[in-house]
Amino acid sequence: MTSERARGAVLYAGAALLLVAGGTWWVRAEPPPQNDPDLARWTVAAERLLPEPPGAEATKTIELGAGAGRQVDAPVDTGNQRVSVVCVGESETIVRVSLGTVDDSGRGLHCTDVQAPTHFEVFLVDHLHMNLNVTGSSPVVFRYSVVRIGD
C-alpha cells in the first residue's frame, strides 16, 4: 500500500467517524417531547374560546414557552381585516401582541381560560405580521384568526 492510499484511507475513516459522531449528537440533542397535560387542556380551551370563523383567511393555535418570543406571518388578502386573538394559560402570564414590523410594546393579553377574544380591526397588505412575547414563568397557548371585513 502506498503512503497516498494510506492517507486517503485515514482521511475517509476520519470523515466517516466524524459523520457518525455528528449524527449521534444531533439525534441525542433533540429536546424531549412535552406531554404537558395543561397545554392539551389549554389548547382545547383556546379552540373553544376562538373557534374557526366562517371565511377565515388564517387561523392557528400556537404553544409558546415561558419567556418566549415569536413572529407570526400569515398570507391574507389585502383589505380591512379583523384579527382575533386569545391566550390561555396561568393567570399571571401575559402575552404582548404587536402587529406589523414596528417595534412597540404591543397590547398585553392576560392568559386565562374564560377571557373573551380580543379583536383588532386593521388594514393588511398581503400578509399578517404579528410579534408575540410571553412574560411570565409558564407556557401558554395562543390562538388567532383573521377574517376579512367589509368590501
pLDDT digits (tens, 9 = 90+) for 35-57: 678 888 999 999 999 999 898 89
Where are the domains positioned within the chain?
Answer: 1-30, 37-148
Instruction: Give the model confidence (pLDDT) of 92-124 as tens digits.
Output: 888 888 887 666 667 888 888 788 888 989 888
Q: How many Å is the maximal CA-CA distance in the chain?
A: 80
Q: Which CATH architecture has domain 37-148?
A: Sandwich (2.60)
Torsion on CA atoms 16, 21, 22, 23, rounded to nearest 10:
90
Whole-model pTM?
0.73
